[in-house]
């Protein structure tokens, strides 16, 4: 292992364990864009290969379990990991393999985005996968970040209103994670203001205290929303690895994604819903043709 010198530079080391999106808008491709844009060093473990574009997912091929494990080992044993972001895990066996490997390496901080369905509606993990996540990964997670549909699948009932968020977050928190962020982006499109709901546990004077906070923001008028969930969880992970506390990390991540949606409103990538613009801090916003469209 290389020794550090007084002049060496350390940046947050963020490992994404997720599926590959051949269209580049979601999955580990989006994760790596976000991590880099926010000043982290991104590493990846591919759990599945998807044939995917802006119109949907046409095929999924799981990666062999021993290859998933070998990727995790390779990163931890040489580079090291400050935080892990977990996305698509397409089978219970992959869930258990990832959980076992992370335990073996003593991973302490894990951001889990329980990806169970693509934006297009394609299933990315069934009920057995959800059950395995709840049993093996939720108790290890620093925070889980389900959207409304994923929250509904995990709880076995439909969650459709902001009024449902508090009880739903309590139930998810009881499954073991240290914090839960329920994302409101899938609220009925008539809602111009969106609400994301964060609940977390802390220990004060030896007693567990449950706290919560709402994050309200406006809905960006765009079809280009592909990969927003992946991008948000990766941003939270990178900010946490950079030393921000949980509430600040969530707030900054929401602002980053909102800015990416705004900057990418007029991007023309593919025939369906395109991605947000991850590099909005470094390159001009994507504007309509008369204003210099990319």
Rg for the chain, CA atoms, rounded? 18
- Cβ atoms of 41 and 241 within 8 Å: the answer is no
CA 6 to CA 188: how far, in whole Å?
Answer: 53
Q: CB-side exposure of 128: number of CA atoms within 13 Å?
A: 6
- The angle subtended at Cα 16 by Cα 272 and Cα 65, nearest 5°, is 100
Sequence-separated (6 or more) residues with CB below 8 Å from residue 190? none
The two beta strands, 193-204 and 56-62, are unpaired
What residues act catalytically?
183, 225, 227-230
Tokens, residue 161: 């209103």
* β-pair partners for 163: none
**Residue 83's closest CA among 16, 159, 163?**
16
Tokens at 222, concatenated: 């765009």
Q: In the structure encoding, which two tokens stand for residue 206, read together?
A: 């030896």
List Cα–Cα distances, 156 to 84, 168, 186, 198, 217, in angstroms: 27, 11, 17, 20, 28
Alpha carbon distance 106, 47 (integer Å): 20
Paired strand residues for 13: 41
**Can you tell me the distance from the alpha carbon of 12 to that of 41, in angstroms, rounded to the nearest whole number?**
6
Using CA atoms, how far apart are residues 68 and 220, in angstroms rounded to an integer? 37
């Amino acid at each position: 292992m290389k020794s550090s010198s007084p002049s060496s530079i350390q940046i947050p080391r963020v490992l994404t364990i997720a599926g590959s999106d051949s269209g580049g808008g979601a999955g580990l491709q989006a994760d790596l864009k976000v991590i880099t844009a926010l000043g982290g060093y991104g590493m990846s473990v591919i759990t599945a290969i998807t044939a995917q574009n802006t119109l949907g997912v046409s095929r999924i091929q799981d990666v062999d379990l021993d290859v998933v494990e070998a990727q995790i080992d390779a990163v931890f044993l040489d580079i090291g990991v400050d935080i892990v972001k977990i996305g698509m895990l397409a089978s219970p066996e992959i869930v258990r393999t990832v959980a076992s490997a992370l335990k073996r390496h003593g991973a302490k901080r894990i951001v889990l985005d329980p990806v169970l369905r693509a934006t297009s509606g394609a299933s990315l993990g069934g009920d057995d996968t959800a059950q395995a996540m709840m049993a093996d990964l939720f108790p290890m997670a620093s925070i889980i970040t389900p959207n409304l549909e994923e929250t509904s699948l995990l709880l076995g009932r439909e969650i459709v209103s902001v009024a449902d968020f508090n009880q739903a977050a309590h139930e998810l928190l009881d499954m073991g994670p240290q914090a839960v962020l329920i994302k409101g982006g899938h609220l009925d499109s008539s809602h111009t203001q969106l609400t994301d709901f964060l609940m977390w546990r802390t220990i004060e004077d030896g007693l567990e205290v449950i706290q919560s906070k709402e994050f309200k923001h406006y809905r960006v008028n765009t079809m280009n929303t592909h990969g927003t969930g992946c991008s948000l969880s990766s941003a939270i992970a990178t900010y946490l690895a950079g030393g921000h506390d949980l509430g600040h990390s969530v707030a900054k991540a929401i602002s980053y994604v909102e800015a990416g949606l705004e900057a990418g409103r007029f991007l023309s990538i593919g025939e369906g819903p395109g991605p947000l613009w991850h590099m909005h801090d470094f390159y001009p916003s994507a504007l309509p043709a008369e204003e210099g469209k990319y």
